[in-house]
Amino acid sequence: MSDMKKFMFVNRKAPYGTIYALESLEVVLITAAFDQDVSLVFMDDGVYQLKKGQQTKGIETKNFSPAYRALEGYDVEKLYVEKESMEARGLSEEDLLVDVVVLSRAEMGELMDQQDVVLSF
Amino acid sequence: MKFGIVVNEGPYQHQASDSAYLFAKAAIEKGHEVWRVFFYHDGVNNASKLTEPPQDDRNIVSRWTKLAEEHKVDLVVCVAAALRRGIKEENLASGFRISGLGQLVEAGVKCDRLVTFGD
Amino acid sequence: MLHIINKSPLTNGSLDSCLRVAQSGDILLIEDAVVAATSGNACAAKLQEAMGRCKVYVLQPDLDARGLGDRLLEGVSPVDYGGFVDLTLSNKNCQSWL
């Protein structure tokens, strides 16, 4: 595809309770394969998608959290977490599977404004 | 202008498909093009030709089919999401086609606006 | 940016999250979110406070469907589906806060 656009994926839901987090990840990987500018945002319960130590054996569901570590290999390197969402859940950057950029509410709003396509899951 | 629409929920359970349809219709009435509607997550259930609503209710599936026929709207169902939920060629309603997630990315790239309806 | 909200703020945090990060732009309330655009609802003050930086719209057919057309909150502009289409075009981009 000739033109590149800024795609942002906003993840606001916890994993496993619904399929949105997993199917969002599938779109992210495809979008990266199409050489688009990809940003991932984790806010509200979406921050839980990145929590270290997910053990899904007991719910007989595939643990897809290792895929977040593989994103770098697809040149998906812009991962953002909203500060207040993280803090409201008693989490810090050390609790997360991958390196992220922590943004204030205002910075997050500005980043969203700069996008061409925003998909929220 | 050229619109892409994403539908993430199935028919009847959630208003998303109704809202998406009414949005698409309004855009077309205003002279815009609805280039593609992409059905993802439970939205793939909008493509089941086995759907049979009561007589006095709207038929969400055939309404999409009619829109596709009359206005050349490309109705694309995500293959991975569809297979998970038992939507296949054999029960696919007219006007819909099954394809990959790349079709969603392409809609984002080629359309002036991509509008999502979901839960 | 056009922020599209479809859930009641009385049971869901989407509108709150949107208002937390949105610095400017338009907010459109559709589906169950139309309850936010009614006078006397417990979240009305929050929405009115946001009107200083964002313009707020409500999808009239969704408001009417729920029997709430008689209590539109002051400062909220009603639109039909055509108006919804126009809002997606008058803003550079849009986001559905699902």
Runs of H (alpha helix) within A8-104:
20-33, 66-70, 83-88
| Matching residue, tokens 């795609």 | A7
Q: What percent of chain A has pLDDT over 70?
A: 98
Mean pLDDT, chain B, integer: 98
Res. B13: pLDDT tops 70: yes
Residue C8 confidence (pLDDT): 98
CB neighbours of residue B15 within 10 Å: 19
**Residue B78 annotated in active site:** yes
Residue A28's nearest CA partner among A95, A89, A77 is: A77
Mean pLDDT within C86-91: 98
pLDDT (tens digit, 9 = 90+) per residue, A77-112?
999 999 999 999 999 999 999 999 999 999 999 999
What is residue A2's predicted lDDT score, i.e. its pLDDT? 55
Q: What's the CA gap between B110 and B35, in Å, rounded?
A: 9
Higher local confidence (pLDDT), B114 or A121: B114
The pLDDT, as a whole number, for residue A54 is: 98
pLDDT over 70 (residue C91): yes
From B22's Cα to the closest Cα of chain C, the distance in A is: 7
Radius of gyration, alpha carbons of chain C? 12
* Residue B68 binned pLDDT confidence (cut-offs 50, 70, 90): very high
C-alpha torsion angle, residues B54, B60, B61, B64 (rounded to 10): 150
Q: Using a CB–CB cutoff of 8 Å, tell me whether B3 touches chain A.
A: no
Using an 8 Å CB-CB cutoff, list residues of chain A that contact chain C. Answer: 10, 12, 20, 43-44, 82, 84, 105-106, 108-110, 112-113, 115-118, 120-121
Using the predicted structure, report yes or no on whether residue A1 has a pLDDT greater than 80: no
Counting residues of chain C whose pLDDT is more than 90, the rounded percentage is 99
With bands split at pLDDT 50, 70 and 90, how would you rate the model's confidence at A3? Answer: confident
pLDDT in tens, B25-60: 999 999 999 999 999 999 999 999 999 999 999 999
Q: Are A15 and A64 in contact (CB under 8 A)?
A: yes
- Which pLDDT band holds residue A121 (cuts at 50, 70, 90)? confident
pLDDT at A36: 95
Specify whether the CB–CB gap between A101 and A51 falls below 8 A.
Answer: no
Closest by CA to B27, choosing from A114, A25, A112, C85, is C85
Least-confidence region, from A2-16, A46-60, B91-105, C63-77:
A2-16
**Residues B70-81: what's their mean pLDDT?**
97
B41 contact residues in A (CB cutoff 8 A): 19-20, 23
Contacts of B38 in chain A (CB under 8 A): none
Q: Tell me the count of B-C CB pairs closer than 8 A.
A: 49
Q: Which of C40, C27, C28 is nearest to C68 (CA)?
A: C40
- Under a CB-based contact definition with an 8 Å cutoff, are residues C95 and A120 in contact? yes
Which one from B78, B87, B104, B114 is the annotated catalytic residue? B78
pLDDT value of position A112:
98
Order of strands across the sheet that contains B74-78: B96-99, B74-78, B33-39, B2-7, B113-117
Q: Is this complex's ipTM strictly greater than 0.90? A: yes
Tokens encoding B72: 């050349």
Q: Check if B5 contacts A (Cβ < 8 Å).
A: no
Among the listed residues A60, A58, A45, the one whose alpha carbon sits nearest the alpha carbon of residue A15: A45
Please answer whether residues A15 and A54 qualify as being in contact, where contact means their C-beta atoms are separated by less than 8 angstroms.
yes
